[in-house]
Amino acid sequence: MKIFIDTAELDEIKRAVSWGIIDGVTTNPSLIKRAVDRRKGKISMEDYIKEIVKASPGPVSLEVIGRRANEMIEQGMLLHEKFSPFGEVAIKIPVNPSMNDDENIDFDGLKAIRRLSSEGIAVNTTLVMTPEQALLAAKAGAAYVSPFAGRIDDYIRANMGMRIGEDFQKGDYLNHDLLRRARDKILGDAMASASSVREIYESRLINSVADQGHDNGVYSGVDLVARILRIFRAYGFKTEVIAASIRNPRQVREVAELGVHIATVPFNVLKGMIKHYKTAEGMRRFMDDVVPQYRELFMKKKEL
């Protein structure tokens, strides 16, 4: 599995690259702006992006801001022309640029993906929230699709009445297995008193419970990634899946177990992946066990 670092902070990118585990970078305009602002006019946004592209060992995803196909195509070509001389660039295109305000542009993202891909420009399809969207992006020729695992976890919890910052924190793991077990337990209890299949099928209570803990049959962000991978493998799509909106190390492990092509990981999550209490405890014991005679093996020989 490739690891892309999800940040616009150049120092974080360079530090992570120095660890020898980074294969690319994903970012967005807001993160870039904050990073540039922290430098208080010492560098322009364009030059800062060039530095990111230079520092990355693989593709850097850069985002368009248009919503109509012609705008996104023009902007994508401009970004590629401007920054690809400095390294590898992928253009981020939203799978659906509509904000429910104009159904006429629902498919403009796919149009842009098709055109840019036909020009040999790698497209990273962003804001993918369903396997259906991922399927359409792959058919349009996207090099990458980015399902937003963390945001789907938040959405599922919100649909159960849970509030971020109160009932759960942004980095909290969604225990989808426990959710399924709880839902199935309540469903089983509710069905036990029914006398017919029709009664079960028409019960408002049972249907209400059945609709909880998932998003149209997707039980978590990790489950979303799994379903996309299953579809792509079934039909031989070459489009790579980037597990995006990763919130914690356990999510990284779970998408890796699925065989996802890429995970894009924030710097703080990346640091969390290397840590474990017992590893630190073991190191303390190892160092306590080092006797002077063994330490001398690593000392340079004195010149005669």
Active site residues: 92
How does DSSP assign the chain, residue by residue?
-EEEEE---HHHHHHHHHTT---EEE--HHHHHHHHHTTTTSS-HHHHHHHHHHH-SS-EEEE----SHHHHHHHHHHHHHHHGGGS-EEEEEES----SS-GGGTTHHHHHHHHHHHTT--EEEEEE-SHHHHHHHHHHT-SEEEEBHHHHHHHHHHHTT--BTTTB-TT----HHHHHHHHHHHHHHHHHT-SSHHHHHH-HHHHHHHTSSSBTTB-SHHHHHHHHHHHHHHHT--PEEEEBS--SHHHHHHHHHHT-SEEEE-HHHHHHHT--HHHHHHHHHHHHT--HHHHGGGSPPPP-
